[in-house]
Structure 1
Amino acid sequence: MANVVVVGSQWGDEGKGKIVDWLSERADVVVRFHGGHNAGHTLVIDGVSYKLALLPSGLVQGKLSVIGNGVVVDPHHFVAEMAKLRAQGVKITPEVLRIADNAPLILSLHRELDGIREDANSGLKIGTTRRGIGPAYEDKVGRRAIRLVDLSEPETLMPKIERLLTHHNALRRGMGLTEISAQSIHEELTSIAHEILPFTDQVWRVLEDKRKAGARILFEGAQGALLDNDHGTYPFVTSSNTVAGQAAAGSGLGPTAIGYVLGITKAYTTRVGEGPFPCELDDEIGRHLAVVGKEVGVNTGRARRCGWFDAVLVRQTVKTSGITGIALTKLDVLDGLKEIKVCVGYELDGSRIDYLPASMGAQARVKPIYETLEGWSDTTAGARSWAELPAQAVKYVRYIEELIGAPVALLSTSPERADTILVVDPFQD
């Protein structure tokens, strides 16, 4: 059995929620390994919609679900999201949900700082979700973060908070803001500790024990590889690593445990927030993709920018994440278009290139080079076999495979779990 890592191969919003839910039926353990509650997943099961941000999708299936050390955890959001799912009938207990004891926490001061920076009149706007993710990761790297395990040691918590505030209050003084008292942060944490501490565990040990026992482990990525802090469209990226390699570092399970990397790939391209987008369409087609694809953020409500499929970007993320095969989603959004374009290369300052440059300036200057394919009039929605797909739709899928250098392992034809064409079962690869 191959343990599977699911990653987004674009800028996120590729439809990972459905695919992870579909795969979780075959998995024994589902793991979140990076990010925070800034990336939403929507699951639709028997007509019921479940919206998740921080909690692993496996909970809805009743599978052992793990939040790894690579995730930054907002304890108050954790409690609120857990209550919302419980109200929908989802059973959540320490027997089915574990959180790494060394996971860093998101505090109110992180959320406030995130918003202040985005609202600043000067400097670069990244387009964050204002949920404190970036500042929390900064404190982790700066070795001053409050971690979940710290809540279990109330007698030593105050000195850790004071150390954290030495940095944050200096920032606040520089911005002309009121300083924060250590007591207020202490109360913020101790008021919630009893609700989150029962879920704490040594996640690295839990996962290794499960691996040795032959359990099938599914690593659930959030966001997309193009938002990776190293390999994405920097600086318009998130604050964590979103490529497949983070599954090992962000969970404590060694990289040799990973057997298959599934890249979730939308049949066109979308992006939320600021940053370069070579194939963006600010025209009738772009609006058509947005409306038919219902391109609005699950948790943020932000409209997504839309454009044609960019094979240059996906081909690059296939390499940086070691993607074995892709799950192609939202093919049905292209139904009815007379022509469909695919970006096969870029023009940069008069020269043709086949990669996304690392330079912010060059990323803004690249122009897409398109190939045009014939569209199809019949619907692909709800198809459960290749035979049910229009011939031109199959041609489009095969062309994408050729361009990106990775085969289609799954093809999703609607938000419903059953509307999936399975080519390769990643757990059996």
Structure 2
Amino acid sequence: MKNTVVLGTQWGDEGKGKLVDLLSENYEAVVRFQGGNNAGHTIVIGENTYKLRLIPSGIFHQKTCILGNGVVIDPKVLLEEFDILQKAGVGIEKLYISERAQVIMPYHKVWEGIEENHRGKNKIGTTLKGIGPCYSDKISRNGVRICDICDKDQLRKRLEIVFPLKQKTIEAHGEMSPTLDEICEQYTKYGELLKKHVTSTSLLLEEYIASKKPILFEGAQGVFLDIDHGIYPFVTSSNTCAGAASLGSGVPPSSLHNIVGVVKAYTTRVGGGPFPTELEDEIGERLGTVGQEFGTVTGRKRRCGWLDTVLLKCTHRINGLTSIALTKLDVLSGIEEIKICTKYHYKDQVIDHFPNSLSIIEELEPVYKTLPGWTEDITMCKNFDDLPDNCKAYIKEIELLLDVSVDIISVGPERSQTIFK
């Protein structure tokens, strides 16, 4: 079995959690390699629904689950997830946290609120979870790591260096943060509760690779929220692409074999920023209602639009997708005509790639190919041949446009509602 990276190909919310849950059974370890609790995934198992923000859904299969060094961790949120799993009878003994992972501190959340309010009408739409300021501190060498909160003396030494300036800056904007003593006391308690899960996860993964135990790498958000390759500045604060799986977990790039891109059968995004295929009409409203398009973490309504293959071609170019998992295909049932964006018009030009300039992106007009829809309920289909002809034609068109095979098809939220083509 080869090691596999699962990533979102659009703006996140593609259904990665369900796919990781399904695939985990065939892997020995599942690794989250970037992001924080600003992203979430919903897992439906029978009549039970679980919503996690940090811990990989492979935990439900009792696989080794790892939060890599590229993840930023809010200890309070992580401990809340411990409680959710323990109440559900799911063991967390095989959960490991990189000692190098950065910690979200109280002042990160306060500062992010100050920044977002300062932007006024130009707000990015951040989740206000402190993710961006935490990554900023990491890069400016002012961060606090998991290994720091597991050592009371080290934590105080660290905060005595980085906290005074944070406190002065926050107070200068009329806001307040917990004191150094309060933070030390609370985060030392978090460290004590997490300590037994903390280790050098890079060394642990090296053992798995040497033993040829297959590993599944799980990304958060989507490629078009990548800090480098997304629509800047409407992006997240980390690299969401396949290459980040190596950096964010401490394994060599040569150990990443398969890159599975999760593609929602239409397109959604949360927050501000350009969205060329957005539908602000009855069909857009229908997609949101039928698809239950509300953020797992924020509860915010997602913007909906037609599938954008120009966007997806860019994702493929950057990540080298080896296959596609197509999700929420059932949401399109009952729509008379289905459109796929194949290129854009910009003034008098035809563009077949995704541009970098924000001013150009804001003026793009999608060029669509129209396909006939289907009225049949596909939620009980078990095989590709069971799908309506028009539905199969839609899938084949996606494969043709992207030159990537659609190997997994989700026709509903439950594990059983999945076709392996």
TM over 0.5: yes
- When structure 1 is superposed on structure 2, of 304-313 and 173-182 the one drifting more is 173-182
Matched, 1:363 2:356: no
- When structure 1 is superposed on structure 2, of 377-386 and 319-328 the one drifting more is 377-386
- When structure 1 is superposed on structure 2, of 163-172 and 333-342 the one drifting more is 163-172
SS in 1 for 2:158: helix
Structure 1: how far apart are the matches of 2:239 and 2:121? Answer: 23
Residues 145-180 of structure 1 deviation map (CA, whole Å, 9 limit, x = unaligned): 010111233223222102222441343244233465
SS in 1 for 2:26: coil
Structure 2: how far apart are the matches of 1:415 and 1:262? Answer: 19
Residue aligning to 1:427: none
Does structure 1 conserve the Cα–Cα contact (< 8 Å) formed by 2:10 and 2:263?
yes
Residue aligning to 1:28: 28
Structure 2: how far apart are the matches of 1:47 and 1:180? Answer: 41
Task: Write the mapping of 1:263-302 to structure 2, written as runs, cut at 5 A.
Answer: 263-302=261-300
Task: Write the mapping of 1:404-415 to structure 2, written as runs, cut at 5 A.
Answer: 404-415=402-413
SS in 2 for 1:345: strand
Does structure 2 conserve the Cα–Cα contact (< 8 Å) formed by 1:379 and 1:390?
no
Residue aligning to 1:229: 227
* Structure 1: gaps spanning 5 or more residues: 424-429
1:315 pairs with one of 302, 313, 319: 313
Matched, 1:247 2:245: yes
Residue aligning to 1:146: 144
Structure 2: how far apart are the matches of 1:191 and 1:181? Answer: 16
Matched, 1:58 2:58: yes
Residues 24-52 of structure 1 deviation map (CA, whole Å, 9 limit, x = unaligned): 01111000000001111111112211111
- When structure 1 is superposed on structure 2, of 178-187 and 345-354 the one drifting more is 178-187
CA RMSD of aligned residues (A): 1.3
What is the TM-score of this pair, normalised by structure 2? 0.97
1:354 pairs with one of 344, 352, 355: 352
SS in 1 for 2:297: coil
Does structure 1 conserve the Cα–Cα contact (< 8 Å) formed by 2:151 and 2:188?
no
Structure 1: how far apart are the matches of 2:261 and 2:49? Answer: 23
Residues 290-319 of structure 1 deviation map (CA, whole Å, 9 limit, x = unaligned): 011010111211100000000100111011
Structure 2: how far apart are the matches of 1:279 and 1:414? Answer: 24
Residues 185-204 of structure 1 deviation map (CA, whole Å, 9 limit, x = unaligned): 21221122111111101000
Does structure 2 conserve the Cα–Cα contact (< 8 Å) formed by 1:165 and 1:180?
no
Residue aligning to 1:403: 401
- When structure 1 is superposed on structure 2, of 324-333 and 163-172 the one drifting more is 163-172
Which amino acid in the other structure matches residue 355 of structure 1?
H
Structure 2: how far apart are the matches of 1:194 and 1:34? Answer: 24
1:191 pairs with one of 184, 189, 192: 189
Which amino acid in the other structure matches residue 23 of structure 2?
L
Structure 2: how far apart are the matches of 1:138 and 1:73? Answer: 14
Structure 1: how far apart are the matches of 2:345 and 2:195? Answer: 53
SS in 2 for 1:58: helix
Structure 2: how far apart are the matches of 1:393 and 1:123? Answer: 41
Structure 1: how far apart are the matches of 2:162 and 2:54? Answer: 24
Residue aligning to 1:107: 105
Matched, 1:10 2:10: yes
Which amino acid in the other structure matches residue 60 of structure 2?
V
Which amino acid in the other structure matches residue 108 of structure 2?
H
Distance 1:321 1:192, change over 3 A: same
Which amino acid in the other structure matches residue 43 of structure 2?
L
Structure 2: how far apart are the matches of 1:383 and 1:198? Answer: 44
Structure 2: how far apart are the matches of 1:77 and 1:143? Answer: 24
Structure 2: how far apart are the matches of 1:122 and 1:53? Answer: 28
Which amino acid in the other structure matches residue 63 of structure 1?
K
Q: How much identity, in percent, do the aligned residues show?
A: 45
SS in 2 for 1:393: helix
Residue aligning to 1:97: 95
Structure 1: how far apart are the matches of 2:323 and 2:257? Answer: 12
Does structure 2 conserve the Cα–Cα contact (< 8 Å) formed by 1:69 and 1:103?
yes
1:396 shift after superposition: 0.5
* Structure 2: gaps spanning 5 or more residues: none
Residue aligning to 2:38: 38
- When structure 1 is superposed on structure 2, of 122-131 and 13-22 the one drifting more is 122-131
Residue aligning to 2:49: 49
SS in 2 for 1:300: coil
What is the TM-score of this pair, normalised by structure 1? 0.96
Structure 1: how far apart are the matches of 2:210 and 2:411? Answer: 36
SS in 2 for 1:232: coil
1:13 shift after superposition: 0.6
Which amino acid in the other structure matches residue 162 of structure 1?
E
1:419 shift after superposition: 1.9
Residue aligning to 1:201: 199
Structure 1: how far apart are the matches of 2:159 and 2:312? Answer: 42
1:252 shift after superposition: 0.2
Residues 57-114 of structure 1 deviation map (CA, whole Å, 9 limit, x = unaligned): 1111110000000000011111111111211111112xx1000000000011111222
Which amino acid in the other structure matches residue 160 of structure 1?
R
Structure 2: how far apart are the matches of 1:333 and 1:180? Answer: 46
- When structure 1 is superposed on structure 2, of 276-285 and 175-184 the one drifting more is 175-184
Which amino acid in the other structure matches residue 374 of structure 1?
P
Distance 1:121 1:257, change over 3 A: closer
- When structure 1 is superposed on structure 2, of 151-160 and 301-310 the one drifting more is 151-160
- When structure 1 is superposed on structure 2, of 268-277 and 144-153 the one drifting more is 144-153
Structure 1: how far apart are the matches of 2:257 and 2:119? Answer: 47
Residue aligning to 1:426: none
SS in 1 for 2:220: coil
SS in 1 for 2:257: strand
Structure 2: how far apart are the matches of 1:317 and 1:198? Answer: 38
